[in-house]
Amino acid sequence: MTGVAGERAYADLAFVQRAPIGALPPPLAMRGPWGWLRANLFSSAFNIVLTVVMLALIVWIGKSTIDFLFIDAVWVGHDRTACMASEQRPHVGACWPFVWERLNYFTYGSYPIPQRWRVDVFFAMLAIGVAWLLWLEAPRRDLGALYFFVVLPVCSFILLSGAPALGLETVDTSLWGGVLVTVVVSTVGIVVSLPLGIVLALGRRSRMPAVRLFSVIFIEFVRGVPLITVLFMASVMLPLFVPEDLTPDKLLRALIGIALFASAYMAEVVRAGLQAIPRGQYEAATALGLKFWPQMGLVILPQALRVTIPNIVNTTIGLFKDTTLVFIVGIFDLLRTIEVARIDPKWATPVTSPTGYAVAALFYWVFCYAMARYARHMELRLSAGQERR
Amino acid sequence: MSAAETTVRPRRSLLTNPTLRSIVYQVLLCVAVGLLVYAAISNAADNLARARIATGFGFWNTTAGFDISQTLIEYSSRGSTYGRAFWVGLLNTLLVGGLGIIFATVLGFVIGIARLSSNWLVAKVAAGYVELIRNLPLLLQLLFWYNAVLKTLPDTRDSYVVAGSVFLNNRGLVLPRAVLQAGSGALALTLLAGMVAAVVYRIWAKRRQALTGKPAPVLKVIAALVILPPLIFVALHGFPAVFEFPERGRFNITGGVEVLPEFAALLFGLVIYTAAFIAEAVRAGIQSVPSGQVEAAHALGLRPNLALRFIVMPQAMRVIIPPLTSQYLNLVKNSSLAVAIGYPDLVQVFTGTVLNQTGQAVEVVALTMAVYLVISLTASLVMNIYNRLIAPVGERA
């Protein structure tokens, strides 16, 4: 027996680690900013080459964009001479005075100048409606929906096209243009296509064969052809199909085309939402004695539309981009006003076209990106309950 | 016992009989649609008669009398009919659609895979590309490429010249043309035979590997089968084609193949735009493959690119194919935007010029829509069959 003394002697002789040693920090090359660089940018020869190529690409595109938009840009001037390349100024960037001068044309088109406050009021009313609908914590969103889908269209129509009885001068739609038309076309598209799309989606799932058949034919037909042909149909065939004295004006024809087109796409989005509702919900609603419309209005649609919000917003982005196509049937939307302005001899320079397109790109990109972010945010919010933590 | 018999059956009035109501609704709907169609047709007949516009497809065989800037089949403004112009337009649509699909697929897959790259910068650049391109209208992009890029290139005299034989200017791109000589058919046959042999070899190699587990060198043998026979043929008989190089004349460039700037802008715009959407579909497909699959592949010792090729992609393709098809259809439908920049596609030729000259809106627009409908319906039919074929065995109906 060695005994206690022996053990003590042993302890004196050698050092015994009684607790685990803490882990060493990772090597310097694998932590901190240097480690991050190594792992994410320079992990292999191939990746190093890729990183260098990408860096060169970013620097090249970034530098030429910044040069064009800011460094070489012309900020003041009265006509094309300001934006022409000269010996003192061999590189000319964006021609901003052209944009300042035409900004009102880009916004209102040829809408009479003394009446333009009406357009501003319309923009404000629309902004209130959109905010009311999209902000989920807003009070009385049911009133918001009523406002957006009923009050707003009626008021805007009276406000924009005029009512002599109310002292508002009539403004012909051929004078409307620019952002105003782009916004009107996309708003009408969404206001008409959502209800119509819901009806078509319900029709496609109906038990009545005739209803189903007509819905399927309409949806598949419209989705199978390009928007341009639908717009051509609305603008050249529609006048043939109605009595001569009832021919709708040019803008209304394009609006009908866009609204029908958007409805077919909206119907498919809503149908996907309806399919996501478990069967039990239908059965429970039937068991409670609800008839078809109360069942849809109180149980199914509130759930289906809620899960569909991201897809509805994505369809709206597509619709918003597609409104540019009314340009081809001769409506003065934002893109068309820019096309008209850029070939105006007063400002004709090599940089006028890129400047005009840059303005259009900024406008469309900001709105589409904002909508896309909103859709993504909603998606995360809606899936929050389902995700495992 | 008697309780069941004495239960008062609820009296059903005809008004609430579901079968009857459904029949009434459907009859009403049919009558409404029928009336609408009837009204439209009678109005159209009135309006057309008043405007003295002919009906029917009588114009099909009438001389067209207008020029088309790009014709894949023989066409002249004097001798060709509207019907011929229709085929020219349709072929131009299919040309830009077909080339667009090929390039957009390649670019889309590259960007989609790049978005998931382990290289942070590559992933961010790919994401930036997608976010930028997806959120801009295609029409704006086409106008930009056409008016702001191609039209501002130098004119013919100051063309950019690449390798002495490719000219780029504001009238388009001029490439050398291969003029075929005798023997070119034999060369093509040699190439074709090599390709068939390669496909047969590939199938054999795959089957052998499935049966015995022994891999065969696929890539090298296929390359040899495709490249060697034509090379031997050329070495024996000489190259059966002469290249006609474009030359700079005093006012314009003569010889070579001319690519219209409208075509270049349309193709470029469509490819860039559609690739962004394809990239998203590819990314979603790859992310739908459970990460355990990749980890298992790595544990088996497969290198990352082999794991992507043999484990991830085959599973991801099932998710990618449906949205990919709808992007292909979108590309073909979007090619109708050609009308905005003047590329002579079906819509520009037929719904544009022919409609303006004949005034027969109903026939022209209906025929154009029918073409796109046929393309769309065929594609979805093929896709449904394909989807059934690649469904996992257990899920097959």
**Amino acid letter, residue A236:** V
pLDDT band at A79 (very low <50, low <70, confident <90, very high): confident
* Total domain count, chain B: 2
In chain B, residues with a C-beta closer than 8 Å to the C-beta of A328 are 337, 339-340
Residue A221: per-residue pLDDT: 94
Q: What percent of chain A has pLDDT over 70?
A: 95
> Are B277 and A314 in contact, with CB atoms under 8 Å apart?
no
Greater model confidence, A230 or B166:
A230
**Structural domain includes residue A88:** no
- Write down the pLDDT at residue A324: 94
Q: B149 vs chain A: nearest CA distance in angstroms?
A: 8
The better pLDDT of the pair A120, A137 is held by A120
Instruction: Give the model confidence (pLDDT) of A248-296 as tens digits.
Output: 888 999 999 999 999 999 999 999 999 888 889 999 999 999 988 899 9
A63 lies in the same domain as A179? no
CA dist A280 and A288 (Å) reads 12
pLDDT beyond 50 at A330: yes
Across B256-293, b (16+ Cβ under 10 Å) vs e yields: bebebbbbbbbbbbbbbbbbbbbbbbbbebbeebeeee
Residue A9: per-residue pLDDT: 61
> Can you give the pLDDT at residue A128?
93
Q: Is residue A213 part of a domain?
A: yes
Task: Return the structure tokens found at A177.
Answer: 């243009």
d(CA A214, CA B29): 9
**B-contacting residues of A 118-137, CB under 8 Å?**
none
Residues A47 and A160 in one domain: no
Chain A contact present for B122, CB below 8 A? yes
Structure tokens at A333: 């939307």
Which among B190, B185, B148, B189 is positioned nearest to B170, based on CA atoms?
B148
Cβ separation A321–B137 shorter than 8 A: yes
CA distance B39 to chain A (A): 8
A66 and A127 in a single domain? The answer is no
| Together in a domain, A203 and A276 | yes
Note the pLDDT of residue B96: 95
Cα dihedral A136, A142, A143, A145, rounded to 10, equals: 80
Tell me, rounded to whole angstroms, the distance of Cα B251 from its chain centroid. 37
**B254 - beta bridge partners?**
B247
User: Do A310 and A350 sit in the same domain of this protein?
Assistant: yes
Its domain, for residue A63, covers: 28-71
Q: How many domains does one find in chain A?
A: 2
Q: Report B:129-188 residues touching A (Cβ under 8 A).
A: 131-132, 134-140, 143-144, 147-148, 151-152
Q: Which two tokens stand for residue A102?
A: 């035409």
* Per-residue model confidence (pLDDT) at position B2: 47
A251 belongs to a structural domain: yes
Residues B152 and B28 both lie in one domain: no
B237 to A215, B181, B182, B193: CA distances (angstroms): 64, 12, 11, 18
Q: Could you tell me if A43 and A120 lie in one domain?
A: no
C-beta separation of A122 from A153 below 8 A:
no
- The pLDDT value given to residue A1: 47
Tell me what pLDDT residue B279 has. Answer: 96
pLDDT of residue A269: 93
Are B390 and B347 in a shared domain?
yes
- Give the strands of the sheet with B257-259, arranged side by side: B160-162, B166-169, B172-175, B257-259
Q: Is residue A112 part of a domain?
A: yes
A348: buried, middle or exposed (CB in 10 Å: 19+, 13-18, 0-12)? middle
Pair A179, A261 in one domain: yes
Let me know whether A64 and A208 are in one domain: no
A374 touching chain B per CB within 8 A: no
Asked, for residue A91, whether it belongs to a domain, the answer is no
- Estimate the crossing angle of helix A352-383 against helix A96-108, to 10 degrees: 60
* Structural domain of B35: 22-52
Q: How far is B81 from chain A (nearest CA, A)?
A: 22
| ipTM of model over 0.85 | yes
What is the H or E stretch that residue B258 is in? strand B257-259
Q: What is the pLDDT of residue B1?
A: 44
Please give the angle made by the CA atoms of A208, A211 and A217, to the nearest 5 degrees: 135
Where helices occur in chain B by DSSP H, the ranges are 2-6, 18-50, 82-115, 120-134, 138-143, 184-212, 218-237, 261-287, 291-299, 304-307, 313-334, 338-341, 346, 355-358, 361-390
Instruction: Please give the structure tokens belonging to residue B211.
Output: 């049966």
Q: What is the pLDDT along chain B (397 residues), one digit of tens a residue?
A: 444 555 666 666 777 777 888 889 899 999 999 999 998 888 888 888 887 777 778 888 888 888 888 888 888 878 888 888 999 999 999 999 999 999 999 999 999 999 998 899 999 999 999 999 999 999 999 999 999 888 878 777 777 777 777 778 777 788 777 777 777 788 888 889 989 998 999 888 888 888 887 777 778 888 888 888 888 888 887 777 777 777 776 666 777 778 888 999 999 999 999 999 999 999 999 999 998 999 999 999 998 888 888 899 888 988 898 899 999 999 999 999 999 998 999 999 988 888 888 888 888 999 999 999 999 999 888 888 887 887 666 554 4
Per the domain annotation, does B329 fall within a domain? yes
Any idea which of A109-123, A319-333, B201-215 has the lowest mean pLDDT?
B201-215
